[in-house]
Structure 1
Amino acid sequence: MNTQPWDVIIIGGGAAGLSAALMLGRSRRRTLVIDTGSPRNRFASHMHGVLGNEGASPADLIERGRAEAAGYGVEFLADAVERVDQTDDGVLVKLREGDPLHARALIVASGLVDDLPDIPGLAERWGKSVLHCPYCHGWEVRGQRLAILATSPLGLHHAQLVRQWTDDLTVFTADIGPMDDATIHRLRSRGIRLIASPVTEVLGEGEQVTGVRTSDGNVTELDAIFTAATLRPRDEFLRHLDLDRADTPMGSFLAADPMGQTSSSRIWAVGNVTSPGGNVPMSIGAGASAGAMVNMALVTEDFDRAVAIADAAPDMAPADYWEQRYAGPDHMWSGRVNKVLSDVAADLTPGRSLDLGCGEGGDAIWLAQNGWIAAGIDISPSAIGRARTAAHAAGLTDDRISFAARDLSTLDDA
């Protein structure tokens, strides 16, 4: 893994996180995606309403997305985030297992958890014949015997929506309490059956629902159930930061502007962690927008810093100037070898090399990894320190590579 500080860390490797990662990788940003491998839609075998991917597997989309992002240098880490803290120049991400990581910006795309009603037979059929979104699953169960297990007043809206996909709809209303006459009349006007007795068991064969049993002992035969779980955003690792939140009928979620930025100038949030109703294409779009905006924020910051350094440059000696450039928190090396060097060296027999003005040592490290005895010299002690650290992290020994901090203008001709 890239050992240098990251431009951006993304928490969550689902559709939103990978879309942001793709944009940032193509923007040449050092980007790390931290993911636990448990996307919200892992229970579903197919996606629908995803243009160009109709009926595709969510797992296949993730696999292709990871490969596409990795092709632009994005790296991945399988771990869980325990805590995020803000620093003067970015964020510090503390992991469950690995060492803390620093980044200039953070994108939270960690999604949410569906806490289902505690009814026997319900959870094991989630994503198969117990469903939540008619736009995602309605076509596949169109015209069948459907039910709404209402868990809140929003279930009545759910009922009106699902009625579009079937003429045979039953709503179990025990969890929402008494309904007024106008609401009852509205639902019944389109032939919806209302059952007030609580559901005690979901019946079925394997993944397929066949009916439900209610507390009065009656069994209602069904082919699929729609229900709304209690939505729990996966954002506990930054609750202590007191970022602005939005209270919605579906719960409390991180507040973010249309481009995904939260009330922190360093933290963005996209996908279901901030927009619980977003499906796969919506999450992809949100991730792409946030990735582009994070890159623009970093571009602006890069120019602001460059202007400040340039303004001070006339009064600085060369050694002081370059030391200031390399002593800051950001690394100058992209992590990739100079292409001209790699093309030329490919036709040469490995021998000894000397890189004058080696900076953080990226080219010298590449040469050493490809059979050369490499040395590097730079005017900045901080740059040389980083070069040595990177060389050791790459497993290179002192007999393969060496670095020295020297001012070339003061070296003797000998």
Structure 2
Amino acid sequence: MSTAIQLARYNHSVLVFDGGEGRTSWVPKYHNLLGYPQGISGKELLRLGREQAQLYGAEIVKSQVGRIEKTEDGDFSVTTSSADYRSRYLVFATGLTDYQPEIPNRYEFAGRSLYYCLDCNGFEFIGQKAAVLGHSKRTILSAFALLDYTHHVFIATNGQPLEGREEYGALLKEYNIDVIETPVERFQGTPGEKGKLKVLSFQDGSVREVDAVLSTYGTRANSKLAQDLNVEVNETGHIVVNEFMETTVPHIYAVGDVINTTQMLVFAICEGVKAAMMIHRSMESKRQRFPARGE
């Protein structure tokens, strides 16, 4: 949305394809955005962003993009379920999709006491009883990282063997990080708006008190549409860009989580503005002449 706002302020025609229900939409509070000391919900931030973009003339199309093709004259044809559009430039801000823990009632607590990004939500773990869900080496390293915030940490692998347990076993023991490989039955607590976790219950009938949970199952970059246009991606599927937010295909840019693994909204906002600046300068450099006075 920051790209759309800046491009519209450059007096360009801007279309935003908003498929809805991205990661931002279910974040209950962003706490590290300058100017929001009490935090702001993802839905409210999106609402304000759309309003601001439209204020400067950007058009919001509430539809999923199904296909994008390069036209013979070098433009792009963008197809949704209801219409076709043409554009000279594209900006992919398609983000990530989280791989979810296989626990039935996970969405009752997602974003409230079940978290996916330690950089984003480490503060919420301070002094809390914390569980790390997963079974990879990343799970172990995340458990160690949580020790900066709390000394009450355990790992729940949800029925899977823990990769790297032999390698890190001594350290796990030294820091009193228990590893529970029994499958998780469900989360228990107060679901809904507050989404406050109290207990992890396991299939063998045992329970473990918990205040906050970090999921470490990783993410998938939403880059298929870009790949269909032969845009280069890295080994994790993230779109490759240069310092100007340009992809390997001319006139295609990418910003936000789809290009990196920081998962921090503030980075995405800055990258969006930078992409808009680079597109505007690209258009300026392609002008054949400046308009005569009065044109």
State the TM-score, normalizing by the size of structure 2.
0.88
Q: What's 2:59 paired with?
A: 75
SS of match in other structure, 1:260: coil
SS of match in other structure, 1:268: strand
Q: What's 2:251 paired with?
A: 266
Q: Structure 1 residue 104 and structure 2 residue 92: aligned?
A: no
Q: 1:252 to 1:260 in 2, by over 3 A?
A: same
SS of match in other structure, 1:253: coil
What CA deviation, in whole Å up to 9, does each residue of 1:375-405 have, x standing for no partner? Answer: xxxxxxxxxxxxxxxxxxxxxxxxxxxxxxx
Q: Structure 1 residue 37 and structure 2 residue 20: aligned?
A: yes
Q: Structure 1 residue 296 and structure 2 residue 284: aligned?
A: no
Q: Which amino acid counterpart does residue 220 of structure 1 have in structure 2?
A: R
Q: Is the 8 A contact 1:121 1:204 kept in 2?
A: no
Aligned residues: 287
SS of match in other structure, 1:232: strand
In structure 2, distance between residues paired with 1:160 and 1:152: 13
Within 5 Å, which residues of 2 pair with 1:385-396?
A: none
What CA deviation, in whole Å up to 9, does each residue of 1:153-200 have, x standing for no partner? Answer: 211222122221111111124545343444122233333222233323
Within 5 Å, which residues of 2 pair with 1:288-367?
A: 288-301=273-286, 303=287, 306=288
Q: Is the 8 A contact 2:133 2:217 kept in 1?
A: no
What CA deviation, in whole Å up to 9, does each residue of 1:96-141 have, x standing for no partner? Answer: 122x111110001122222312212223211111111233223234
Q: Structure 1 residue 89 and structure 2 residue 83: aligned?
A: no
As a proportion of its length, which structure holds more helix? 1
Shift of 1:68: 2.2
Q: Is the 8 A contact 1:152 1:175 kept in 2?
A: no
In structure 1, distance between residues paired with 2:162 and 2:139: 12
In structure 1, distance between residues paired with 2:46 and 2:63: 17
Q: Which amino acid counterpart does residue 172 of structure 1 have in structure 2?
A: A
Q: Is the 8 A contact 2:92 2:255 kept in 1?
A: yes
SS of match in other structure, 1:147: strand
SS of match in other structure, 1:256: coil
Structure 1 spans left out of the alignment, 5+ residues = 1-17, 311-331, 333-339, 341-358, 360-414
SS of match in other structure, 1:68: helix
In structure 1, distance between residues paired with 2:219 and 2:271: 19
Shift of 1:94: 0.8
Q: What's 1:403 paired with?
A: none
Aligned residues: CA RMSD: 2.3
1:179 to 152, 155, 164: 164
Q: What's 1:154 paired with?
A: 138
State the TM-score, normalizing by the size of structure 1.
0.64
Q: 1:146 to 1:200 in 2, by over 3 A?
A: same
Q: Is the 8 A contact 2:132 2:143 kept in 1?
A: yes
Structure 2 spans left out of the alignment, 5+ residues = none
SS of match in other structure, 1:287: helix
Shift of 1:230: 4.1
Q: What's 1:234 paired with?
A: 222
- The percentage of aligned residue pairs carrying the same residue is 26
Q: What's 1:280 paired with?
A: 265
Q: What's 1:368 paired with?
A: none
Q: Structure 1 residue 218 and structure 2 residue 206: aligned?
A: yes
Q: Is the 8 A contact 2:134 2:155 kept in 1?
A: yes
In structure 2, distance between residues paired with 1:229 and 1:179: 15
Q: What's 1:136 paired with?
A: 120
